Structure 1
Amino acid sequence: MADFAHALGLPTEIGFHDIFGFEPDLLAMVPQPVHAILLLFPITEASEKARLEHAATRNDDAASDDAARVWFTRQTIGNACGTIGVLHAVANTLNEYSVADDSWFGRFFAATRAMTPGERAAHLEADDSLEAAHAGAASSVASSTATPSPEREVDLHFVALVHVDGGLYELDGRRDAPFRHGDTARESFLVDAGSVVKKFVERGGDSLSFNAIAMGPNGGDAMF
């Protein structure tokens, strides 16, 4: 994951770190500050029910406010949820670091800044350079996970959790808009996000197919 993100322009001082659990002693192992969390979880009936209930109860005015402050894109490319998660994580944490204007991230975010989530998705689909970067990272020895083909059916999904203007947002490309879970702060984001992750785990039943990854300072032990 780090190879892919760095190839697109994420500064090398930012890395990705495994979160082994959300108990205080385990959270103390995570380099701070945490800028975003990428969560891999199993798609279950309970998780889908929660997603649809969130959409049904969304306040349109609040959703409009969220859309104005949170960078969000729809996912229209099959099995690209990890890529979408990285985009959501980086785009919403550029107040913590910067990317070069001539990097892929710099060009993409500049081009899509004023677009709707649907327009951003279409722009992403048309970008062949992203696929090339993804292929290069996937072939790297340091890359530890294989990316499934767009046609392959999978029952796992990535979402990003980010802190934007005092809100804790879940960004899922299958949704129409960002979903706000509540308030948070830079200092409490990791703990607050842990409460959200625990809800996902509860909806996962007996599944062990969960992985929480923190994006933050690269202390030399980045996992991907």
Structure 2
Amino acid sequence: MSGGWNTIESDAGVFTFLLNNLGAQDVQFEELLTLEPEVLAALYPVYGVIFLFKYPTDAPYAATDKPLDGTFDHEAAERIFFAAQTIQNACGTQALLSVLLNKDQEGDSGSTSAGDEATGIDIGKSLREFRDFTMVLPPEFRGEALSNSELIRDVHNSFAKSSPFVDETQRTSGEPEDAFHFIAYTPINGTLYELDGLQPAPISHGPCIADEFPAKVMDVLQRRIARYDMSEIRFNLMAMVRDLRVRAREIGDGEALEREEQKRRDWQFENALRRHNFVGFAGAVLKGVVEDKLAEGGDAAYQKWIEEAKAKTKQRLESKRRGGGGGDVEMEG
């Protein structure tokens, strides 16, 4: 991994353990496979959602006077946590923090005032100190403080895929890659805000209390997705909610509790795989296969195996070029 910020997957398990490792308590992410408000409402309390989409390159992204939807609320940046994005690859964690740091149960953002918002989150001592320190700064300096936070950067990078051969900060391929961007939506002080570090200010989407959030945020997302070509399907939506194990314990649902515990174990295993460098393992497997072939019939058996593999690969490629599909051809052991 590089010394900067590496890309991380848009995955509920990654973001849940990222939350936990940053010190937040009793909170998790759930991936949403539909834009039906009822599905989101069933996860109540919902603190906010983060949305991943293809970054548009055919027109300027950051608006100056008016966003494509909603209205800029420049004054809100002084009352709520909003940070300008100053570095690449950090937008996922920044979107997460845009929700989390506005839901501190001991903070002053007002997210729990008047009983309108979901119960606040215990964000932990380290993040609370970071929030208190940065709230006196303008958004661009908050972004700089975030990018220079060793705690946040180290936790973020701990969930990046192991890339022993590639430094993601030094891409030199001539073919441009599609870029993707995370943003956050959350209700704060009775208003639905879109928090996007590439925009000059928080974007207000009108009045919204916690109970109204699922329906109102889905309307906003539907309008946003509608601006894309119908063939574009690369979107991802995750909700930040209270730890579902807590609710299962409160209502005495042992089956739901075990299901959620198993989900955590699966996430933990998948995250461990992401961190692992499998180059040594792959090399050992290949070495073992070659040794077996040599033991079967020496160099002649090994060369025959190689030629058969080449022929099958060529056949598969030719079949694909003809449009016949052909499927994968198994390499016989």
The equivalent residue for 2:18 is 4
Q: Which runs of 4+ in 1 moved over 4 A?
A: 48-51, 150-154, 221-224
The equivalent residue for 2:181 is 157
TM-score after normalising by structure 1:
0.82
> 26, 29, 41: which one pairs with 1:16?
29
Q: Which structure dedicates a bigger proportion of its chain to strand?
A: 1
SS in 2 for 1:72: coil
CA distance in 2, matches of 1:203, 1:38: 18
The answer to whether the Cα contact below 8 Å between 1:160 and 1:172 also exists between their aligned partners in 2 is yes
- The Cα offsets for residues 199-218 of structure 1, whole Å up to 9 and x where unpaired, read as 12112212111111100112
Q: Which amino acid is the alignment partner of residue 186 of structure 1? A: A
Q: Which amino acid is the alignment partner of residue 66 of structure 2? A: T
The equivalent residue for 2:79 is 69
The equivalent residue for 1:199 is 223
CA distance in 2, matches of 1:150, 1:10: 29
The answer to whether the Cα contact below 8 Å between 1:168 and 1:181 also exists between their aligned partners in 2 is yes
The equivalent residue for 2:307 is none
- The Cα offsets for residues 116-159 of structure 1, whole Å up to 9 and x where unpaired, read as 1111112122222322212323469xxxxxxx935666421100
The equivalent residue for 1:216 is 241
CA distance in 2, matches of 1:137, 1:107: 23
Q: Which consecutive residues of structure 1, in runs of 5 or more, have no partner in the other structure?
A: 141-147
Q: Which structure dedicates a bigger proportion of its chain to helix?
A: 2
From the superposition, tell whether residues 135 and 201 of structure 1 become closer, same or farther in structure 2 (CA, over 3 Å).
same
CA distance in 1, matches of 2:74, 2:225: 29
The equivalent residue for 1:35 is 47
Q: Which amino acid is the alignment partner of residue 174 of structure 1? A: L
Q: Which consecutive residues of structure 2, in runs of 5 or more, have no partner in the other structure?
A: 1-14, 106-119, 172-176, 245-259, 268-333
Q: Which amino acid is the alignment partner of residue 109 of structure 1? A: R
Q: Which has the higher contact order (CA 8 A, sep 6+)?
A: 1
Q: CA deviation at 1:110?
A: 2.0
Q: CA deviation at 1:190?
A: 1.3
TM-score after normalising by structure 2:
0.56
The equivalent residue for 1:144 is none
The equivalent residue for 2:281 is none
The equivalent residue for 1:85 is 95
From the superposition, tell whether residues 185 and 150 of structure 1 become closer, same or farther in structure 2 (CA, over 3 Å).
farther
- Bigger CA radius of gyration: 2
CA distance in 2, matches of 1:151, 1:199: 36
RMSD: 2.7
Q: CA deviation at 1:197?
A: 0.8
Q: Percent of pairs identical after alignment?
A: 27
The answer to whether the Cα contact below 8 Å between 2:196 and 2:202 also exists between their aligned partners in 1 is yes
From the superposition, tell whether residues 91 and 154 of structure 1 become closer, same or farther in structure 2 (CA, over 3 Å).
farther
CA distance in 2, matches of 1:97, 1:160: 16
SS in 2 for 1:160: strand
SS in 2 for 1:132: helix
From the superposition, tell whether residues 150 and 5 of structure 1 become closer, same or farther in structure 2 (CA, over 3 Å).
farther
The answer to whether the Cα contact below 8 Å between 2:190 and 2:207 also exists between their aligned partners in 1 is yes
From the superposition, tell whether residues 149 and 191 of structure 1 become closer, same or farther in structure 2 (CA, over 3 Å).
farther
